[in-house]
Structure 1
Amino acid sequence: MASTEDKAASKESPSSWKDSIYNPRTGELLGRTASSWALILLFYLVFYCFLAGMFTLTMWVMLLTLDDSVPRYRDRIPSPGLAIRPNSLDISFNRSDPQKYSQYVQNLESFLQRYNDTEQEENTDCSPGDYTLREEGEGMSQKACRFRRALLSFCSGLSDTNFGYHEGKPCVLLKMNRIIGLKPGGDPYINCTVKKENPIQMHYFPKEGRFDKMYFPYYGKKAHENYVEPLVAVKLLFTKEDYNKELAVECKVNGSNLLNNDDRDKFLGRITFRIKVVE
């Protein structure tokens, strides 16, 4: 049988448990009085407001050191990579079937819309052979030099809307990635080679596949709102003996101080793609 003391303890236990939450005799809630709760809540309110203020002040000071147009650090990518259009590193099509090459033609046509005369009217005719530098007092706005798609000649899609794909002599477009402030030295141009015994004849547009200096430097998206990258078109003059073979084509930027032989980055100043024309 339980003793009288055990029965008394069991009767008091519910009251003790309730008192730990709220004690009506002392007015304590969870072991603290109202004034104690008010003081501790005031402390945390002031503490977290101080932390929020310090964070806001730090962010404000940091933003004052940044430029909306130019990144603060630009030393990680000293040379641009090469990009290709149509946007594929594996081009394969049947020259006798328009449906097989229509995706490449549409990709090229869509990409060249920015280079139409109607889009280039707002840009400026610049002086070839010289960098286009920001003028004094020009502020945030920088003039963009015109690049008309007609400069791409037979690869412009104007005289030949199929870009040579229907005749098995396709065009590809090459451009350098944008790097703010880049001023390539020398006279950069594109040179492509096909990895096979017998060389394949190619035509470059504009003349000699050159990137004119007047399109450099690039001043950023805000300052150069209408800027378009200069392009080089390569027309691959395949013959019948080249059909039904997968050929690897490597294109590089030569004639300048831009890097094109870094084994750690195969797209730095160069690009390799595969192309196969089925007869």
Structure 2
Amino acid sequence: ALNKRDRIDPLEKQDSWKDFIYNPRTGEFLGRTAGSWASFSLTHPEYFLRLWVGLGLVASHCQNYNAGRTFCQSRMVSQNTGSLKRYIQASFCLSSSSGYNDSIQERNDLCMVGEYTTQDNEPIKKVCQFKRSTLRQCSGLPDPSFGFKEGKPCIIIKLNRVIGLKPEGDPYINCTAKRATSLQMQYFPSEGRLDKMFFPYYGKKSHPDYVQPLVAVKLLFTKEDYNIEQTVECKVEGSNLRNDDERDKFLGRVTFRVKVSE
């Protein structure tokens, strides 16, 4: 037990947490100075690489229908295939992201496939086209339910924007189900590829209209899979991208649970 002398003043404890987040006396943020963070980001760019997964879902206005626990709260998604109104809105809704619409993307540049779009000397950077129609069955165009109506949901995956990142090799998204038997999946674009032409990103000021590439994964559930919670892990694969650090479960990968019920 703490004696009187050892007791922590709640106000003192609160101040210590504030100082840890930002210390005005030293200029440190989360225990590091701006220079330290800059140096760290250059030597460990993969630290800032986080997969961000959203279930793209709903009707045209992406209304938030309550169907069990939402992905945002618990990463547990329940879906009833028999109801058109029980789509789930996650943190990312493709239908509301007009920047990916083909009519908008047609204003952007057709870049060289398989090559980095390096433009260090250009004050305002060009933007490579990424049309949502590239996601085909998971674009929300032929099927506004994003596969949920038929019990084969689409998962929309994108990478956070990391300034200067150039994924080496042939970067792609790879998803696996954590179960005894394999789960069939379909990727859009083909093989879950993240084309190099969308890299590097130069920052919001120089690259204001930039949109990062997306990968859609369609989970091909069968009726035998219904009413069973499925755990799926998706990783970004690339020769200079880390995704297997056991100390950081969110480095280059994301795990989520999906349950489809009749």
| Equivalent position to 2:125, from 142, 156, 167 | 142
**CA distance in structure 1 between the aligned counterparts of 2:114 and 2:250, rounded to whole angstroms:** 26
2:53 matched to which residue of 1?
84
- TM-aligned CA deviation for residue 99 of structure 1: 2.1
Larger radius of gyration: 1
TM-score, normalising length: structure 2:
0.74
Structure 2 matches for 1:168-247, cutoff 5 A? 168-247=151-230
Report the CA distance between 1:199 and its aligned residue.
1.0
Contact 1:201 1:237 in 2 (8 A): yes
Is the 1:189–1:210 Cα contact (8 Å) retained in structure 2?
yes
Contact 2:53/2:92, CA 8 A, preserved across alignment: no
Q: Give, in angstroms, the shift of residue 123 of structure 1.
A: 1.4
Q: CA deviation at 1:261?
A: 0.6
**Offset of residue 106 of structure 1:** 8.8
Q: Are the counterparts in 2 of residues 105 and 163 from structure 1 also a CA contact under 8 Å?
A: no
Q: CA deviation at 1:114?
A: 1.5
Q: In structure 2, do the counterparts of structure 1 residues 77 and 135 end up closer, same or farther at CA, with 3 Å as the change threshold?
A: closer
Q: CA deviation at 1:103?
A: 3.1
Give per-residue Cα distances to partners, 1:31-51, cap 9 Å, x unaligned: xxxxxxxxxxxxxxxxxxxxx
Letter in 1 for 2:256: F
- When residues 261 and 94 of structure 1 are mapped into structure 2, their CA distance, relative to the original with a 3 A threshold, is same
**Partner deviation per Cα, 1:105-131 (whole Å, 9 max, x = no partner):** 9933224x2200222133111000000
Structure 1 unaligned spans of 5+ = 1-65
Task: Give the 3-state SS of the residue equivalent to 1:257 in structure 2.
Answer: coil
For residues 252 and 273 of structure 1, what CA distance do their matches in structure 2 show? Answer: 12
| Contact kept in structure 1, 2:54 and 2:92, CA below 8 Å | no
> Once the 2 structures are TM-superposed, how far is the Cα of residue 164 of structure 1 from its aligned partner?
0.6
Structure with a larger share of its residues in helix: 1
Pairwise mapping of residues 53-132 of structure 1 onto structure 2 (< 5 A)? 72-73=38-39, 74-75=41-42, 77-79=44-46, 80-86=49-55, 88=72, 89-103=75-89, 107-111=93-97, 113-132=98-117
Distance 1:179 1:76, change over 3 A: same
- Give the aligned length: 208
Provide, for residues 221-271 of structure 1, a one-character-per-residue CA deviation record: whole Å limited to 9, x for no partner: 011011001000000000001000111000111243200011222111100
CA 1:265/1:105 → structure 2, altered by over 3 Å: closer, same or farther? closer
Could you say what the CA RMSD is over the residues aligned between the two structures, in angstroms? 2.2
Question: In the alignment, which residue of structure 2 is the partner of 1:257?
Answer: 240
Q: TM-score normalized by structure 1? A: 0.70
CA distance in structure 1 between the aligned counterparts of 2:219 and 2:170, rounded to whole angstroms: 23
What is the match of residue 139 of structure 2?
Answer: 156
> Partner letter of residue 93 of structure 1?
Q
CA drift of 1:135 comes to 5.5
The AA in structure 1 aligned to 2:50 is G
* Letter of the structure 2 residue corresponding to residue 133 of structure 1: T
Check the 8 A contact 2:54/2:91 in 1, yes or no.
no
